[in-house]
């Protein structure tokens, strides 16, 4: 029974509640249709056939039919085109060359090391189907009114459409041949494409289940249909969205070795979750953007003159931990409109407005590749549903001195022996025990970052040796695209060498957590809500597991 103190609902509020309920029912119906691709398209083709029969037997509404055909052709072209047009990248590169960028010598990527870029559609299949179905329904409704039955000589429209179709498809095929991509799942997909789609769907399913169900016990949103994973949104999705501005975002950590595709995974994860039917707002923060300034990196190297691990960015200790804590706290509170101050005066991490946080940007091209924090920042605005923190050492935990000594001597890390033969890397020749212990001590401060993470996605290769191979492939592909600018093969090996100790000594913290002096492991905050994507040598998905 309603309390006498409760205000009576006004007719407007009742109407708004009814509209909201209808919208929710409609969205839930779409959610249930999401995985049934074949059935959805068969239903749409049935509607289209009904429309064509209406046109043929009535001998009218030719202009409506022509408009529908043009619209469907436009949707088809968007479906066949990549979301990131390589021709635009070529134009940008040409502009750089004209401006004399090639005279500056080899440089590193300006933002992040390039990851592989598989085919991602400009118009996702779901949106293609939904837009096509709506257009067919609207066209059918138009045939109920004589107002849209404009007299026209229909053979002219047929000829014009056929010519337009042939010209546009010819141009599209030439574009596909020139930039070497295949927008269909015929045989083996374009390089990396098939497995990355699987990565995205498994990872997205994990995020969706934890966001909307909050239990993390299983992945009901990720199932298999004809050997392909698909997503089905839990019904609690809409209920959460109605109040999301008052809830903190879900924090997801993403870790993977150089060249594995973690940057691509996180960027496409953001795009996939932003599209219907999920419509989630996702912010991505790379640990690379939290590096110390150039002056800070220089001071760190001076303070540790004999520790080559701290000479340059990369290892734990080369990041601005205080700035990272400020940003993580600001993102945690972004949906409640609170303000967070920036004691360092960098501008990054400061709420530049209610519900807005400025994220730092680290430019790796500055100081001849040594890098420095850029003056510009990236603003993210509330409401935010998911925050992704990605990086090669995200989730790494420090270990005890005894464990460091054991691993430095080769016990517990059998892969180190194979690295000597395969990659010419000898741990004890490359780095001293005290150097590793210094990094181990600096890593302790990062644990405060990890405490904010609710879930985790790890990309794992078959061995440490594959990191050299993947990073070299990454560099070679980048040099093909930018005219040969980048590191030599020897420089790539030297670059990867600096990261191997981090994987060997601290990498298993992602799954095990922290190790205490008694030899006991303490599970990380994301325990039970983690997903491992195991890749083979060719970066194909070999398996998945939960932890």
Residue 117: Cβ-neighbour burial (10 angstroms; 0-12, 13-18, 19+): buried
Is 34 in contact with 232 (CB distance < 8 Å)? yes
| Confidence bin at 105 (pLDDT 50/70/90) | very low
User: Same domain, yes or no, for 123 and 220?
Assistant: no
User: Same domain, yes or no, for 295 and 378?
Assistant: yes
87 lies in some domain: no
pLDDT of 286 over the 90 cut = yes
For residues 231-245, average pLDDT = 43
- pLDDT of 472 reads 85
Domain end, chosen from 179, 210, 230, is at 179
407 lies in some domain: yes
- pLDDT of 349 reads 57
| Confidence bin at 29 (pLDDT 50/70/90) | confident
User: Same domain, yes or no, for 174 and 197?
Assistant: no
219 lies in some domain: yes
pLDDT of 209 over the 50 cut = no
- d(C-alpha 335, C-alpha 249), whole Å: 8
Domain end, chosen from 241, 262, 277, is at 241
186 lies in some domain: no
For residues 209-219, average pLDDT = 40
Residue 514: Cβ-neighbour burial (10 angstroms; 0-12, 13-18, 19+): middle
Q: Domain tally for the chain?
A: 3
User: Same domain, yes or no, for 160 and 211?
Assistant: no
User: Which tokens sit at 340?
Assistant: 């967070």
User: Same domain, yes or no, for 255 and 293?
Assistant: yes
User: Same domain, yes or no, for 206 and 323?
Assistant: no
For residues 485-492, average pLDDT = 80
For residues 468-497, average pLDDT = 80
1 lies in some domain: no
pLDDT of 97 over the 70 cut = no
- pLDDT of 345 reads 44
Percentage of the residues of the chain whose pLDDT score is greater than 90: 31
| Confidence bin at 254 (pLDDT 50/70/90) | very high
- d(C-alpha 235, C-alpha 27), whole Å: 9
Residues 6 or more apart in contact with residue 32 via CB below 8 angstroms: 232
pLDDT tens column, 313-333: 899 999 999 999 999 999 999
- pLDDT of 54 reads 92
User: Same domain, yes or no, for 398 and 474?
Assistant: yes
User: Same domain, yes or no, for 366 and 237?
Assistant: no
For residues 242-251, average pLDDT = 68
From the CA atom positions of the chain, what is the Rg in Å? 27
- pLDDT of 539 reads 78
pLDDT tens column, 352-401: 446 789 999 998 878 877 889 998 899 999 888 889 999 999 999 999 99
Lowest mean pLDDT among 265-269, 276-280, 509-513, 521-525: 276-280
- pLDDT of 176 reads 79
DSSP 323-367: HHHHHHHHHHTGGGT-----TT-SSTT--SBTTEEEEP-EETTTT
Number of residues that make up the chain: 547
The mean pLDDT value of the chain amounts to 77
pLDDT of 177 over the 70 cut = yes
User: Same domain, yes or no, for 140 and 211?
Assistant: no
pLDDT tens column, 397-418: 999 999 998 888 777 676 666 6
pLDDT tens column, 453-480: 988 989 888 888 888 888 888 788 777 7
Residues 6 or more apart in contact with residue 333 via CB below 8 angstroms: 248, 340
- d(C-alpha 212, C-alpha 240), whole Å: 7
User: Same domain, yes or no, for 325 and 197?
Assistant: no
User: Same domain, yes or no, for 420 and 521?
Assistant: yes
Place of tokens 């839930």: 28
488 lies in some domain: yes
Residue 454: Cβ-neighbour burial (10 angstroms; 0-12, 13-18, 19+): buried
- pLDDT of 91 reads 52
- pLDDT of 6 reads 46
Is 486 in contact with 106 (CB distance < 8 Å)? yes
Each residue of 464-482: b (16+ CB within 10 Å) or e? Answer: bbbbbbbbbebbebbbeeb
In terms of Cα–Cα distance, which of 262, 290, 259 is closest to 495? 259
Q: Is the peptide bond before 224 cis (omega within 30 degrees of 0)?
A: no
For residues 503-530, average pLDDT = 89
The SS3 call for residue 416 is helix
What is the extent of the structural domain holding 212? 193-241
Cα separations (Å) of 81 from 50, 94, 364, 396? 29, 22, 31, 39
34 lies in some domain: yes
- pLDDT of 331 reads 93
- pLDDT of 283 reads 92
In terms of Cα–Cα distance, which of 252, 281, 291 is closest to 357? 281
User: Same domain, yes or no, for 366 and 400?
Assistant: yes
- pLDDT of 461 reads 87
Percentage of the residues of the chain whose pLDDT score is greater than 70: 73
The end-to-end CA distance of the chain, in Å, is 47
Helices H, strands E: what count in the chain?
A: 20, 14
| Confidence bin at 224 (pLDDT 50/70/90) | very low
Write down the pTM of the prediction. 0.62
- d(C-alpha 60, C-alpha 54), whole Å: 9
104 lies in some domain: no
What's the CATH code of the domain at 348?
A: 3.40.50.300
């Amino acid at each position: 029974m309603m309390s006498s103190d409760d205000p009576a609902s006004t007719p407007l509020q009742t109407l708004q509640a009814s509209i909201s309920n209808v919208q929710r029912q409609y969205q839930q119906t779409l959610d249930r249709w999401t995985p049934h691709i074949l059935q959805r398209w068969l239903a749409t083709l049935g509607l289209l056939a009904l429309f064509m029969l209406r046109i043929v037997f009535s001998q009218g509404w030719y202009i409506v039919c022509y408009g529908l055909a043009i619209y469907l052709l436009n949707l088809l072209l968007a479906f066949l085109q990549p979301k990131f047009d390589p021709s635009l990248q070529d134009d940008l590169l040409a502009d750089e060359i004209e401006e004399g960028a090639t005279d500056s010598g080899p440089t590193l990527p300006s933002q992040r090391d390039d990851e592989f870029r598989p085919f991602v559609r400009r118009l996702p299949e779901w949106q293609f189907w939904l837009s096509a179905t709506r257009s067919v329904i609207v066209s059918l409704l138009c045939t109920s009114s004589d107002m849209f039955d404009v007299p026209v000589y229909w053979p002219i429209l047929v000829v014009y459409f056929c010519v337009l179709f042939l010209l546009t498809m010819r141009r599209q095929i030439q574009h596909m041949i020139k930039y070497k991509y295949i927008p269909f799942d015929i045989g083996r997909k374009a390089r990396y494409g098939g497995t990355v789609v699987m990565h995205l769907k498994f990872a997205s399913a994990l995020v969706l289940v934890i966001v909307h169900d909050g239990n993390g016990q299983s992945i009901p949103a990720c199932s298999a249909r004809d050997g392909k994973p698909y997503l089905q949104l839990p019904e609690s999705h809409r209920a959460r969205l109605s109040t999301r501005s008052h809830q903190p975002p879900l924090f997801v950590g993403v870790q993977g070795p150089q060249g594995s595709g973690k940057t691509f995974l996180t960027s496409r994860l953001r795009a996939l979750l932003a599209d219907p039917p999920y419509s989630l707002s996702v912010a991505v923060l790379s640990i690379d953007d939290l590096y110390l300034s150039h002056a800070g990196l220089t001071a760190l190297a001076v303070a540790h003159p004999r520790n080559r691990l701290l000479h340059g960015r990369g290892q734990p200790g080369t990041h601005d931990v205080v700035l990272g804590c400020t940003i993580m706290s600001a993102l945690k509170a972004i949906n409640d409109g609170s303000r967070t101050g920036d004691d360092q005066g960098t501008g990054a991490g400061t709420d530049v407005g209610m519900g807005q946080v400025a994220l730092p940007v680290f430019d790796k091209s500055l100081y001849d590749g040594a890098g420095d924090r850029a003056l510009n920042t990236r603003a993210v605005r509330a409401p935010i549903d998911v925050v992704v923190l990605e990086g090669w050492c995200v989730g790494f935990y420090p270990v005890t001195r005894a464990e460091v000594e054991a691993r430095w001597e080769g016990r517990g890390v059998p892969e180190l022996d194979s690295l000597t033969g395969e990659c010419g890397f000898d741990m004890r020749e490359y780095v001293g025990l005290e150097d590793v212990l210094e990094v181990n001590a600096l890593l302790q401060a990062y644990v405060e970052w990890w405490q904010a993470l609710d879930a985790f996605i790890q990309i794992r290769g078959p061995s440490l040796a594959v990191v050299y191979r993947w990073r070299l492939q990454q560099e070679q592909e980048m040099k093909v695209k930018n005219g040969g600018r980048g590191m030599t093969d020897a420089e790539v090996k030297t670059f990867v060498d600096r990261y191997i100790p981090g994987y060997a000594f601290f990498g298993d913290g992602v799954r095990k957590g922290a190790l205490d002096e008694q030899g006991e492991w303490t599970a990380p905050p994301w325990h039970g809500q983690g997903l491992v994507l195991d890749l083979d040598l060719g970066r194909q998905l070999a398996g998945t597991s939960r932890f």
